Structure 1
Amino acid sequence: MPHPDRHAGPRPLPCRPQQARPSAGPTCHRVTLASLVALITCADPARALQVLDARDGVAIEAVMSIREATRIRIDGAPITDVFGNVYSSSCGPTPTSSGVDAGTTPMPAAPEFNPSGEVVIECDRDKGEIYIRPVGDAPKPVNLFVSSAQATYTLVLRKADTPADTIVIRDRSLRAVSPSSGADTHRLRGAAPDHIRALKAMLVAMAADRLPTDIRVEDISRQVQLWEGVTFAQIGRYDGRGLVGERYLLQNVGQDTLVLAEQEFDRVDGALEGQVLAVAVEHHNLRPGDMTNVFVIRRAGPR
């Protein structure tokens, strides 16, 4: 039986073999970037700066200190919103809250606590920057969605014993926002754009099974052929707000540990409709027998 067309399922990385994912051999630059940055920062603390070339919807890796604050900023634009598994935040409502009304500027608030949260966030509203610290000793990376008025960036933050550091997100695909524009200033200082709020609401609905009334869920059991050594099945579909959310369950049935990245599931021409807008992988490192949820959000199209 011929191997299925890769474009009918999640698209593999260029450096992945089409029939298997061996544990040895060349690795993608994205996978080794975090380790390289960690070595640089340990060797020369005075140069502890991570400049990441990024674009909307593509996951990028960085290193987060386990014992010091890590600053995050976007080159040329203030941060307007942050979403993730947050333990506490001084930036406004936490992910367990109802959110901020459109057109209003969120004000600093007393932290609310999410017992299962992975990161503490502090805001510098004047500069449009955030400071983060990990919570607990779990070795798994922390995923954060960091938004400006123009784009949302997916950060996969690896923990390392490094000094205080700064992460600079640089998006060469976007023109700098003019500070003289009144409309732009309102967007940067106010609530997140509607499409970002919609993506956040869809991801929360899929990950936490908290369904807003305008999102419809359908249970699905559909096997998708992916790589050798894994099983991959769609287990749910979520419709609403002009978006389609797809929830998948991936299991490592091979003999080697798998290292996953969001880009491997960015299906532009998939079996289902609509352009992919966001991908989130719950666990990036899978030992043999381990499983993880994979969430894909795409623009809705005709069914």
Structure 2
Amino acid sequence: MSATGWFSRSLACSFAFLTLVLVPGTRTEALQRVKLVSETEVYTVLVSNTQANRFVFPFRVEKITSSAPGLDVKFYRNTATVSLVGEEAAEMIVYAKGKSYMLNLIPKDIPGETVILEVQAPEPVKYQQGYLKAIKDLIMAGYRGEMPDGYQAVEVFKKVKDWEKGGTLYLVRVYRCPQALTLKEYVLMNTGKDTVEVSEEDFLKGNVRAVSVDRHEVRPGMATKVFVVE
């Protein structure tokens, strides 16, 4: 197995962060700060089930939806008043600027909360030996048929094209992680009568970061795997 075409670019996976700050003194409200990092995360927020709660967003709210029967929400521009009755948690989805964020509201017998929401850029994933090792680890996971941490595999198996050197190229599956590198697994099947030569340079196009070809010579009736990192 060989691999060429390494490029240095940043990659990131998204994580949700919740900071709870209790304000001492005579105030009747507690202050929570919730940092919105990714649309794929669910953000947990403590709310009062005896008093109204105030939410302040960093953007103008377009819509708020929920199917929870005990939840009442009234919003105007970048603020919302949220009341939740009972002891059951409720999910609330906030829409703004073409994005949506899901909040998981946990009711407690506490004074009304003030929740400050902030948008935070995702932090880059730190790998032990840097970016090159991250690419190698991703490709090796593909060869072993393992699911890399934080990734989801989408089964595709569709014909991409007839290989100009002979045979047919198929896209088998795609490994994805939000705001990180994408790994695509191809299979090149030699359906002809002559041996087909395959090189990494055949796939180094567009935004491809790295390529690894299992077999560089494919005899008739045989196949080779090709992993492409984007």
* Alignment TM-score, normalising by the size of structure 2: 0.43
Structure having the higher strand fraction is 2
Structure having the higher helix fraction is 1
* Alignment TM-score, normalising by the size of structure 1: 0.33
- Rg (Cα) greater in structure: 2
